């Protein structure tokens, strides 16, 4: 597994476990996931994605 795949898998795992917690609000989880994905995409594919579309 490449470093990029490990980072992406960690994001998905974090999202899954946060979703299992009854005390977490969905808005907070989604905002956290959005920030993680934005960092991941900016680090791995800066020229492919329109960064404005993630804001």
- 9-33: per-residue pLDDT in tens? 888 787 776 656 655 677 777 788 8
Q: What is the pTM of this model?
A: 0.44
What is the length of the chain?
A: 55
Q: How far apart are CA 51 and CA 42, in angstroms?
A: 8
Nearest-5° Cα angle at 13, 16 to 17 = 40
Q: How far apart are CA 33 and CA 40, in angstroms?
A: 10
Average pLDDT score over the chain: 72
Cα torsion 38, 42, 47, 51 to 10°: value is 30
């Amino acid at each position: 597994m490449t470093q990029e795949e490990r980072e992406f898998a960690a994001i998905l795992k974090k999202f899954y476990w946060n979703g299992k917690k009854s005390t977490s609000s969905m808005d907070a989880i989604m905002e956290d996931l959005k920030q993680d994905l934005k960092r991941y995409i900016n680090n791995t594919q800066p020229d492919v994605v329109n960064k404005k579309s993630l804001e």
